[in-house]
Chains A and B, each alone.
Chain A
């Protein structure tokens, strides 16, 4: 097949990968929010708790780009600082949830037997607890602090990630190359990390992204109920919550954080659906 017809369209590849436009745009949006979160104190025009406007729910102006909130604080600054909490808490939560879920899932698939059964039934029991209710109980018990919030979110989303990773790993585990590695004398850790993980990493990443979105939404939900990040700090969900009265005034204070949540969650999903694809067509 080497002497094939000349190529009719040039491969749009860099380093042997194809990038889609949607993926690049989504990545740009995520990068934008990451930069905003990282440099929030430098970017924000006003301090987070400072009342700068005499009016509440003030309109958009050249001084206050997104208007003011229910206490007359600058909305833009609050969104910029909110990015830190939304992105930071959600990222920490999803990292803990997905990594522990994936590690346990692969271990269950490789070890099998009673370990798999016991762990799987335990995780099934965890899944049966409603997530918001669990969040309420934890916050009621230990109060709302950033670490407890992160751990609660991670705890809620670990079983789902475990189930997903275990299902994938069980399939890979039956392949002959795993048998070959086993009778070479390899240990469980090597089997999981080196033989199974590279084969399930793509779906696991997709799951990671979806879980990230779920956590952002749950965090926003908890904050909306007043159980998330505590004032004067606020994540985006809390911003929507505290400015909800502004809805009747048509204030930007409600719509702006909602748009921020939507743009982040949609971008994460679009990026995962459009990750760069490796070009397999090597004879080119």
Chain B
């Protein structure tokens, strides 16, 4: 096969705010044949997006290509002038961004934006371009392809918008398409449709692709070859089958092993006598004006009941918008429930956190998804961890310092981090601090709201391991909210499936493999597996997809 792309000894430099130069890509060599899809995989900061962007001759502000050659169809993208690069972009190399919602202009119709590429490059007449766009919409199996272009971006779903972004990239007839984590922000049920659409279009057109992702299972479905990156260097390169079956580099092995959660001994069978730590009965919560019956206009959580026993974990799973986070906020009292009872440790709690006792607040802690916004950026770590210590336990001075050290130790972070600010920590470190702050209160129950979804697979697996260890040491219970079944399975004794604000099924560890509710079936079967043939052989009941499918 002839080579379409040759990256030879690529070096990219970034300048820090102290004026120091850092090499972020250190001599990378990658070849891509015509019609081949190569996946770049690695944790955040490994340089995968930086490499993908250099294929368009682009570097992010503050970075520059310091050396090497980037041959795309014989042209060196690093050496071209900006004007020449602009000619190549959209016609020979195209880009599909991570967040299509942010990439579309909300004030123009989708069709205008999709055919904009042909207008800029003068490729075809607008009428011709519209025909071509509709063909692409069909090929990407978008619903009502004839008319979907008339809509505005907010009038289509996230999965559809991601496919429309692909249509925008493909309309110029590129030889190479760069996908930058295009399905990371999507639900599993939606992700399947998008992946299938991408795969069929790419194969049909014989288009080469670069697929950037940190999710090995997704990559396994679409890529011919995988390049594993870490710290700006290629760690391992090989065909998808080879990487998945016989990974040779330790980092690749680590990535793969993060997929198989380590077996742990779970708490014993439910003992009927034990009083549940938390009981929730028929809770209703939502948004909007209060109606005549005293309930909110939009019910995000509709009459949900659940119970959590001491030392056991409950997982809540469902796609975005199913009300799982609202339920968490409702239990914590951030969003007061409109109806129902919340009984914690034998006592009925007020629906509003402001009217709960300090002791009740201390015993139930919530950890949020985004550690970036959950930690005050203006405060050093020791203040962030120290505040709950002095607030709940009245610790001061040396005692407080010692406890902060202990907490850092508990979440396996070096003590020196206490003087840093959150912006000086990595994503995984921030999430550990976020968790340590909850531990500082000595709680009985911790509500974890999607705490691993913003993290890479390897880092997320490490956090889950940490949670398990701490549970053993401190006799905690967790409510674990996630859209990722494998994460929930790894840590929870019981799993509750939510759909459109209602609890549709309650599963124990034993029957998690055989869900009975149709939505649970669809959800569970949509989780990508490492097997490269999984997507092609996957058969979803069309009736199910029509009823519950996301896109």
Contact = CB atoms under 8 A, between A and B. Distances in A.
Interface in A184-200: 184-186, 194-195, 198-199
Nearest to B372: A176
B17 interface: yes
A249 to B, nearest CB: 53
A11 B19 contact: yes
Nearest to B383: A194
B16 interface: yes
A201 B379 CA distance: 13
A7 B21 contact: yes
A9 B22 CA distance: 12
A180 B378 contact: no
Interface residues of B, number: 39
A155 B300 CA distance: 46
Contact of B373 (A175, A184, A284): A175
A182 B423 CA distance: 22
B13 to A, nearest CB: 8
Contacts of B20: 4, 7-9, 11, 281, 284
B388 interface: yes
Contacts of A8: 19-21
Nearest to A9: B19
B17 A281 contact: yes
B424 interface: yes
B258 interface: no
A21 to B, nearest CB: 15
A18 interface: yes
Contacts of A282: 420, 424
Contacts of A18: 17-18
A121 interface: no
Contact of A11 (B18, B332, B356): B18
A167 B378 CA distance: 18
A5 B23 contact: yes
Contact of B361 (A1, A5, A176, A185): A185
Interface string A171-182: 000011101111
Nearest to A201: B378
B88 interface: no
B376 A279 contact: no
A42 B448 CA distance: 67
Interface string B359-394: 001000010101001111111000000011001100
A280 interface: yes
Contacts of B379: 198
B295 interface: no
Given A185-B391, A186-B391, A199 B24 contact: no
Nearest to B424: A282
A129 B436 CA distance: 51
Interface residues of A, number: 31
Nearest to B419: A282
A180 B420 contact: no
B353 interface: yes
Candidate in A5, A176, A179, A281 with the most chain B CB atoms within 10 angstroms: A176
Given A5-B22, A9-B19, A18-B18, A176 B373 contact: yes
Interface string A108-121: 00000000000000
Interface in B77-127: none
Interface string B393-430: 00000000000000000000000000010011000000
Contact of A184 (B13, B361, B374, B423): B361
B371 to A, nearest CB: 9
B373 A199 contact: no
Interface string A77-111: 00000000000000000000000000000000000
B375 A281 contact: no
A47 interface: no
B57 to A, nearest CB: 23
A133 B424 CA distance: 50
B24 A1 contact: yes
Candidate in A11, A183, A284 with the most chain B CB atoms within 10 angstroms: A183
Contact of B353 (A7, A182, A194): A182
Nearest to B358: A185
Contacts of B388: 184
Candidate in A5, A9, A181, A279 with the most chain B CB atoms within 10 angstroms: A5
A4 B373 contact: no
Contact of A280 (B13, B231, B373, B424): B424
Interface string B20-52: 111110000000000000000000010000000
B278 to A, nearest CB: 15
B42 to A, nearest CB: 13
Contacts of A5: 13, 21-23
A177 B21 contact: no
Contact of A279 (B13, B18, B374): B18
B334 interface: yes
B333 interface: yes
A231 interface: no
A143 interface: no
Contacts of A179: 334, 368
Interface in A209-234: none
27 contacts: A5-B22, A9-B20, A11-B18, A175-B373, A176-B373, A176-B374, A180-B374, A180-B437, A183-B334, A183-B353, A183-B361, A183-B366, A184-B387, A184-B391, A185-B353, A185-B356, A185-B358, A185-B361, A199-B376, A199-B378, A280-B17, A280-B424, A281-B16, A281-B17, A281-B20, A282-B424, A284-B20
**Pairs of residues from A and B, 4 with the lowest C-beta to C-beta distance, nearest first:** A198-B378, A11-B18, A176-B374, A281-B16
Given A5-B13, A183-B333, A183-B353, 19 more contacts: A4-B22, A5-B21, A5-B22, A7-B20, A8-B20, A11-B20, A175-B373, A176-B368, A176-B370, A177-B374, A182-B354, A183-B334, A184-B387, A184-B388, A199-B378, A280-B424, A281-B20, A282-B420, A284-B20
